[in-house]
Structure 1
Amino acid sequence: MILSVLAAVPIVGAIALALLPKSTSGAQLNAKVIALGVSLITLVVSLIALARYDLDAGGYQLTEKHEWITAFGAWYSVGVSGIGLTLILLTTVLTPIVILAAWDDRLPQASNTNAYFAWMLAVEGLALGAFMATDAFLFYVFFEATLIPLYFLIGSFGGPNRSYAAVKFLIYNLVGGLLMLASIVGLYVVSSRDGGATYLLTDLSNIEMSTTTERLLFLGFMAAFAIKAPLWPLHTWLPDAAGQATPGTSVLMVSVVDKIGTFGMITWCLYLFPEAADWASPVIITLAVISILYGALLAVGQDDIRRLIAFTSVSHFGFIILGIFAFTTTSMAGSTLYMFNHGLSTAALFLVTGMMIARRGSAKISDFGGVQKIAPIMSGILLIAGLSSLSLPGLAPFISEFMVLAGTFTRSIPAAAFATLGIVLAALYILIMYQRTMTGPLREDNQGVHDLIPREIAALAPAIVLIIGLGFFPQPVLNVINPAIDEVASHIGKGDPEPKSPVSIAPTTPEGGHE
């Protein structure tokens, strides 16, 4: 029952917040305290789930299975592998950080504070459901349901063009969801031919289907995940959404919900359609490399800080997808670790720059300058978050990016070589942004920018501590990830390539001569 409780706590908390009175400032404070308390309870429950997970046993654990819609074989079935557990921990760690950082967000209507934090908790609960669902139909329900709170968070609480950004976000993701639904219907038809319709991951992974059918069904799932991830050229909704959303909403969207896309690629695409994934991998790897370079190049040219971070995420998701479809245990483990580390670094970037933007009243890089002279703590945290985003050694994303590239080099040297250029471009877009906003003479119109207050430091500190700690010691997270990755590699029949020696030496006889 621990997983059901884990998903239910934030959803029940969201409903309770929505029903609270909202007219007075005292009621709004109560709503914030309740939201933070619920998110901390959820974090504690996730840590209990981690403690109950047997790292040595691997596989899906903490499972529950109950009849749901018997008419067409859908079950309420949940469980976690090391991959899902890692992303559950990411979600439960980031949500209280987001709520604390968003404490004084300037909303279009202050009376909507209850709804603002209720929708945040709803995002958390629904994302947790997606990471633990082991029934395809149940996963689809959670996958689509995450769009509802995000739509309202962007459309009701974002910037001046929030309505356009929210609608674009919704349309892109609904189209992807419909394509996945078509494939789920196809799975129903295929599974019913074998004696009984099923959506259970364990059953579907053993179903025999024709090559054409498998490839068509794979494309439906993959299209939905590529939009969510987002993969070039299906990424264009993200910069608009992130450019208009509040910082907290952007964190939940990019660091948590978008990870459902890459999580789905490993858990559903590779498990259900291994042959089709192998067939499509050259194209997907090519698109991933384009995402890495395209996102980085566009980030270099951005003047809007929020859009810059959005394009960096397009580039980073390219690394994650590249590692998944390189099909080595090193690259896939690196991709899963990258999901966790990217979530932390991007959260820190969105939140600290959001605090800068709120003080200055502008998101343009060109409107800042010399801020480190009056806000040294803010400047220092921005520097750490920025260096983390460019994968500086000693910070968490470096290990995951190195693993992705090392694993990819054994499969495709050209893909890995082009992807490595993204690291160079990352140094450009991060360091240029930091130089233009923080260094140089202090501009007179930046005099009102003040340093972080204790609440803001407390909100950002956990992410910074994890970024530094996992940079030097990532093994605790890898211990959770590796058994699950080994099982995926075994299931799809992709072992690591044998090392190739550049020199071939003939074997010798015992007497020292050559055979």
Structure 2
Amino acid sequence: MSLGRVGLVAVLALPALGAAVLAVLPHRIDRAARITGTAFAAAAFVLSVLLALGGDDNWFGYRPRTAGGPGVRPWHELDLTWVPGLDLRFHLGVDGVSYPLVVLTALLTLLCCAYTAWRVPAPGRGRTLVALLLVVEVGIVGTFLALDLVLFFLFFEVVLLPMYAIIAIWGGEDRQHAARKFALYTLFGSVLLLVGVFTVVTAAGTADLVDLTGGGELSRGTQLAAFSLLAIAFAVKSPLWPLHSWLPDAHTQAPTVGSVILAGVLLKMGTYGLIRVAVGVAPEGARWAAPVLGTLAVAAIIVGSLVCLAQSELKRLIAYSSVGHMGFVLLGVATLTATGIQAALIGNIAHGVITGLLFFLAGAIKDRAHTGALAELGGLRESTPRLAGLLGFAAIASLGLPGLAGFWGEAFAVVAAWRVGGPFWTTLAVLAALGGALTAAYLLRLLRRVTHGPATPAVLTLTPGLAGAELAAWGPLVLLALAIGLAPTLVLGYAEVPVEALLEAIR
């Protein structure tokens, strides 16, 4: 087995092994168990980065293979017989579309595990929380690596139970309601995803995503039905308005690390699935539904921004901001153009980095002030200027300031819609641009309410310093937000070839 194939297996096996080790360690060594879990997450992150070191035939150079199949084959590919009687295969692969998401998932899991290792949300239970984070990593990374539809579905579902437990056990006062709502919406999407996968596999006679890209032998009617089922399933996870209402409750009640994983990478399972599976497998359905998807995406941008302008709770405001930001991602996908899909891919990564940072900061503020009410958090820069400065940086990055990561995805999603042309798409582009202005308005309002003005009683008692564990968790995200903003090729350079191949296959 080549080094690339070993890497594909190891990036899944290490967090799974780490979770298993933590499950058998005794409670009395909880701190050591948390550090052990963090070590497994660190090893998985290093391996995820090394996946970029070329194809199986050229380990030390970036050179995607182009032999066979529609478009570009993955850099590394593992294809083993899994269930011979049902012709199911354990088929994994990584390319420029999935690679940045795999690395982001591994990075955020590492940061969350490290944060938990030094700042325990519930004494004696940090070991279990780290183990659950590692299981979530297995499900999310597996979703990004799966090249078999049935395997994709199974990894997609692995995330449900551990994320439910993270919210229900370590969440806020209303955590049980939020966890149930998350589970119900997710199960609804899972049923539609299962039916969509069944429709495709039975009609095409194969579950191989490489062979299915471009529609394969699927009839137009089958593609329309399959895309409808798959798109709604992925819209729930993204989430797309009006299927978004589980997200604010889940974010508000989840512990800090739960919110970071939810916003940072779990939502990306939906947008990635829309690009890789729904558009790739049912391109005729995608073209047919593109106007509807574009309309809902712009509605998400406008509605999410307007709700944020009325929000009075910190984490809930950031949660609703994700609805708007993911609307830009989905608008890019709806254009079915190279510019739009590239905008969606970099928008995914930028949102994961910036909103992950915002939730880390929001959690730190709530832990210190014991409230998330904006009216009770004024004057943060007077007592904790470093924390206020980091919040200002994250908010400005989130509103899409040029030079920071948030700019590229939102700006070029609008450009892509404008370039499609015609009254309909031009109108969507204008409305999306208006939504971008509203995004700036609510984030500047957030800073005015929280960091400026006289310090409130809840803020006056805060200690000015930042813990080393906090700086270690936040620092990489600050650097990434700046690096991606200045050098978007860090993401787009990997994705250019596979995106062109995808578009060629679905024409």
* TM-score exceeds 0.5: yes
**For 1:370 and 1:203, how far apart are their aligned partners in 2?**
57
Q: Percent identity?
A: 32
- Which whole-Å deviations, capped at 9, do the CAs of 1:131-154 have from their partners, x for residues lacking one? 000000000000011111101101
Q: Tell me what 2:12 maps to.
A: 7
Q: Quote how far apart the aligned CAs of 1:315 are.
A: 0.2
State the one-letter code of the partner of 1:377. R
1:453 counterpart residue number: 467
8 A Cα contact 2:350 2:481, kept in partner:
yes
> Aligned partners of 1:105 and 1:287: how far apart in 2?
40
Q: Which residue of 1 aligns with 2:361?
A: 352
| Cross-structure match for 1:414 | 427
Alignment of structure 1 residues 178-327 onto 2, 5 Å: 178-191=191-204, 197-205=205-213, 207-327=216-336
Alignment match, 2:53: 51
CA distance in structure 1 between the partners assigned to 2:359 and 2:73 by the alignment: 34
Report the AA paired with residue 94 of structure 2.
V
Contact 1:304 1:365 in 2 (8 A): yes
Contact 2:340 2:412 in 1 (8 A): yes
Q: Could you say which residue in structure 2 is the equivalent of 1:509?
A: none
Unpaired runs of at least 5, structure 2: 1-5, 56-60, 65-71
Please give the per-residue CA displacement for 1:482-514, whole angstroms capped at 9, x wherever unaligned.
Answer: 111111111122xxxxxxxxxxxxxxxxxxxxx
Q: Distance in 2 between matches of 1:50 and 1:312?
A: 32
Give the equivalent residue in structure 2 for 1:429.
442
**Residue 202 of structure 1: how far off its partner (Å):** 2.1
Figure out how many residues of one structure are paired with residues of the other and give that number: 484
Larger Rg: 1
Report matched runs for 1:64-79 at 5 Å: 64-79=78-93
Alpha-carbon contact 2:63-2:75 (below 8 Å) kept:
no
Aligned partners of 1:189, 1:51: CA distance in 2, in Å? 37
- The question of 1:462 aligning with 2:476 is answered yes
Q: Which runs of 5+ in 1 are unaligned?
A: 192-196, 494-515
Q: Does 1:484 align with 2:486?
A: no
Does residue 21 (structure 1) correspond to residue 18 (structure 2)? The answer is: no
SS at the partner of 2:462?
Answer: coil
Structure 1 residue 209 displacement after superposition: 2.5
Alignment of 1:374-389 (within 5 A): 374-389=383-398
1:445 deviation in Å? 3.0
Which residue number corresponds to residue 407 of structure 2? 398
For the aligned residue pairs, the C-alpha RMSD in angstroms reads 1.4
- Answer whether contact 2:76 2:95 (CA < 8 A) is retained: no
Per the alignment, residue 176 of structure 2 pairs with 163
Question: CA offsets, 1:204-230, max 9 Å, x none?
Answer: 235322222211111111111000000
- Conservation of the 8 A alpha-carbon contact between 1:101 and 1:351: no
Q: Secondary structure at the match of 1:111?
A: coil
**Residues 227-251 of structure 1: CA distance to partner in whole angstroms, max 9, x if unpaired?**
0000000000000100100111011
* 2:381–2:451 CA contact under 8 A, matched in 1: yes
Deviation at residue 30 of structure 1 after TM alignment: 0.7
SS of the aligned residue for 1:110 comes to coil
Q: Take 1:100 and 1:447, find their aligned partners in 2: how far apart are those partners?
A: 29
- Using the TM superposition, give the Cα deviation of residue 331 of structure 1 relative to its aligned residue in structure 2, in angstroms: 1.4
Contact 1:40 1:96 in 2 (8 A): yes
Offset at 1:105?
A: 4.7
**CA shift for structure 1 position 42:** 0.7
Q: CA deviation at 1:65?
A: 0.8
**1:106, CA displacement in angstroms?**
5.5
Cα separation, 2, equivalents of 1:189 and 1:458: 49
